[in-house]
Amino acid sequence: MQAFLTAMLGRPTQRYRNREEAGRVLARALGHYAGRPDVVLLALPRGGVPIAFEVAEALDAPLDVFVVRKLGVPGHEELAMGAIATGDTRVLNHAVIRDLAISSALIDEVTVAERRELERREKKYRGERPPLDLRGRTVILIDDGLATGSTMRAAIAAVRQKSPTKIVVGVQVAPTDACEDLNGEVDEIVCARTPEPFYAVGLWYEEFDQTTDEEVHDLLERSRARSLAPR
């Protein structure tokens, strides 16, 4: 049964200091998954990784990346006409495509370019290590916020192909309607804060610098070392 959970932690208009603080806030909202051996965290890079790292530490759960690339409208790249994800999955925003009369050829052109970047990032972040096995696991997908939800929707569709038992979405900040739109697609969604009016994800962080590839790799290695350490 799908569940929609909004954990309002602090004032709705309060900004996070940075992604690390946001991760600790989200970890508290996801605390009911702590210590469970079936739980796996998948971070959407790059901004979702510092947040997911904090959550993984708090829940004592393994962490991996799940690479998703937005398909931006040429000339207006911040506007998503869809997204692609690991597993050769593509999700399109048909309303944007229809309203802007975007051709199939243009969509395919952008998809090819973004797929090259997706493959580069997977190699950079994970090296030769295979992705975590998601079959029969509770998968928690984490990003640093939701706007339209296109990127997360692509991730959900791709993860579902890996036969998990349960899919959970955890985000720090999002408009209420974006959380509600995803509610029917996952088993649980935790939106730590849903400020109105929303405007943009970055406005709800005091520090919102771009996370680098090197930072992503370092955090994944630190999390992996913790998972492999003797208990």
DSSP 187: S
Query: What distance in Å separates the CA atoms of residue 180 and residue 2, rounded to the nearest whole number?
Result: 11
The answer to whether residue 16 is domain-embedded is: yes
Query: What distance in Å separates the CA atoms of residue 10 and residue 26, rounded to the nearest whole number?
Result: 12
Could you identify the residue written with the tokens 């973004």?
114
State the pLDDT confidence band at 148, using cuts at 50, 70 and 90.
confident
The pLDDT of residue 229 is above 80: no
The answer to whether residue 11 is domain-embedded is: yes
Task: With CA atoms as reference, report the closest residue to 44 among 104, 86, 77, 106.
Answer: 86
Q: Report yes or no: 58 and 27 within 8 Å, Cβ to Cβ.
A: yes
Question: For residue 37, what pLDDT is reported?
Answer: 95
The answer to whether residue 40 is domain-embedded is: yes
Query: What distance in Å separates the CA atoms of residue 231 and residue 134, rounded to the nearest whole number?
Result: 23
Helix (H, G, I), strand (E, B) or coil at 140: strand
The answer to whether residue 143 is domain-embedded is: yes
Question: For residue 4, what pLDDT is reported?
Answer: 47
Question: For residue 14, what pLDDT is reported?
Answer: 79
The answer to whether residue 53 is domain-embedded is: yes
Q: What pLDDT digit, counting tens, does each position of 63-115 carry?
A: 999 998 889 999 998 788 988 887 777 888 899 999 999 999 999 999 999 99
Query: What distance in Å separates the CA atoms of residue 16 and residue 27, rounded to the nearest whole number?
Result: 14
Question: For residue 215, what pLDDT is reported?
Answer: 94
In DSSP notation, 76-116 reads: EEEEEEEEEETTTEEEE-HHHHHHTT--HHHHHHHHHHHHH
Considering the entire predicted model, what is its pTM?
0.83
Q: Report yes or no: 178 and 206 within 8 Å, Cβ to Cβ.
A: no
The answer to whether residue 144 is domain-embedded is: yes
Which of 5-19, 38-52, 185-199 is least confident? 5-19
The pLDDT of residue 132 is above 90: no
Domain of 171, CATH number, reads 3.40.50.2020
State the pLDDT confidence band at 172, using cuts at 50, 70 and 90.
confident
In DSSP notation, 27-77 reads: HHHTGGGTT-TTEEEEE-TTTHHHHHHHHHHHHT--EEE--EEEEEETTEE
> How many CA atoms lie within 13 Å of 148's alpha carbon, on the beta-carbon side?
18
Q: 204 φ, ψ to 5°?
A: -100, 15
The answer to whether residue 86 is domain-embedded is: no
User: Where in the sequence is the domain holding 135, given as residue range(s)?
Assistant: 3-67+131-228
Question: For residue 13, what pLDDT is reported?
Answer: 58
| Pairing between β-strand 138-143 and β-strand 89-92 as defined by DSSP bridges | unpaired
The pLDDT of residue 5 is above 60: no
Q: What pLDDT digit, counting tens, does each position of 26-35 carry?
A: 999 999 999 9
State the pLDDT confidence band at 231, using cuts at 50, 70 and 90.
low
Return the axis-axis angle of helices 48-59 and 19-29, rounded to nearest 10°.
Answer: 40
The answer to whether residue 209 is domain-embedded is: yes
How many structural domains compose the chain? Answer: 1
What's the distance, Cα to Cα, between the start and end of the chain in Å? 35
Among residues of the chain, what percentage have pLDDT more than 70?
94
